[in-house]
Amino acid sequence: MARRPMTLGPQINSASISPFLGPEGASETFVDGAILISDANDSNRLAEGAANPIDIMGIAARAASTVTATLIPYYPGLPGVIFEGSVDDSNALGTGVALASDFGTQVGVTKDSAGFWYLDKFKTGALARTRILGFRDPPGTAQGRVYFVFSLG
């Protein structure tokens, strides 16, 4: 299964999560589903996260407009907001498998060459940014989709 963009997952009690609006940073070219941060070097506008992003704001609800300060929709990475994403392994790209034993584990995030972010089983410990809460695809699926929350702090 090929990696796909991160998206909003099912919410507790079927709650509806509307996208928030935030100002886009300068020269942004991120794709739908990109991990966004608040860039202190760009008037705290939304920017795509770099490697191992800290203080994740959420994920883009659409691709960047490439126009500085345009209000763009994003899904906030608040406690309790559930997301869906693909699992892979940056140490052996294309071989990552979501296993039943991954339930509850914390893993990092990585962006692939197509601009899609995925949960990276190779990144654990201090590099972990997410916690896996459940499975969209059956455990054992290569690059399978899982439900997760962002680890805050």
**pLDDT truncated to tens, each residue of the chain (153 aa)?**
688 889 889 888 777 889 999 999 999 999 999 999 999 888 999 999 998 998 899 999 999 999 999 999 999 999 889 999 999 999 988 889 999 999 999 999 999 999 999 999 999 999 999 999 999 999 999 999 999 999 876
Other beta carbons less than 10 A from residue 87's beta carbon: 26
Work out the burial of residue 75: count CB atoms within 10 Å of its CB; fewer than 13 is exposed, 13-18 middle, 19 or more buried. buried
Cβ distance 129 to 53 under 8 Å? Answer: yes
State the pLDDT at residue 2: 80
Of the candidates 151, 139, 150, the one whose C-alpha atom is nearest the C-alpha of residue 96 is 139
How many Å apart are CA 2 and CA 23, to the nearest integer?
31
Q: Is 42 helix (H, G, I), strand (E, B) or coil?
A: helix
Other beta carbons less than 10 A from residue 115's beta carbon: 15
Looking only at the bridges linking them, the beta strands covering 45-48 and 35-39 are: antiparallel
Q: In the structure encoding, which two tokens stand for residue 79, read together?
A: 């406690």
State the pLDDT at residue 153: 60
Q: Enumerate residues 6+ apart whose C-beta is below 8 A from 40.
A: none
How many Å apart are CA 59 and CA 5, to the nearest integer?
10
Write down the pTM of the prediction: 0.92
Give the distance from CA 133 to its chain's centroid. 14
